[in-house]
Amino acid sequence: AQRVTQPEKLLSVFKGAPVELKCNYSYSGSPELFWYVQYSRQRLQLLLRHISRESIKGFTADLNKGETSFHLKKPFAQEEDSAMYYCALSGGSNYKLTFGKGTLLTVNP
């Protein structure tokens, strides 16, 4: 079974502060991990995936297989980063994408 845990339902930081959204996963095979973002009144969209190892909008995420984590980080949060963030795992023969419960990030001015 595959499982994604996002322990923080809500996260509030001030503009310019570092932010880290936590994600832990459980999967017996070799997973693919993703972060999706849903801005207010917009559709859910892919933010980044671990295999591309790139920085998107200043966000990075490193897959740590030892800790089974894929935390999302940004050194200096901006107000426009306020959104709902979902960590997701793809695995299995049908490549099912399983989402965590999401973390609502609020960046205060």
Site string for another protein, 37-76 (x = CB under 8 A): ------xxxx--x---------------------------
Stretch that binds another protein, among 11-19, 61-69, 71-79, 100-108 (CB under 8 A): 100-108
Closest separation in Å from C-beta 57 to another protein: 16
Q: Does residue 84 belong to the site contacting another protein (CB under 8 A)? A: yes
| CA gap 25, 86 in Å, rounded | 12
- Name the token pair of 61: 């995420």
CA atoms in the 13 A half-sphere facing the CB of 50: 20
Residue 34 interacts with another protein (CB under 8 A): yes or no? yes
Q: Are 108 and 11 in contact (CB under 8 A)?
A: no
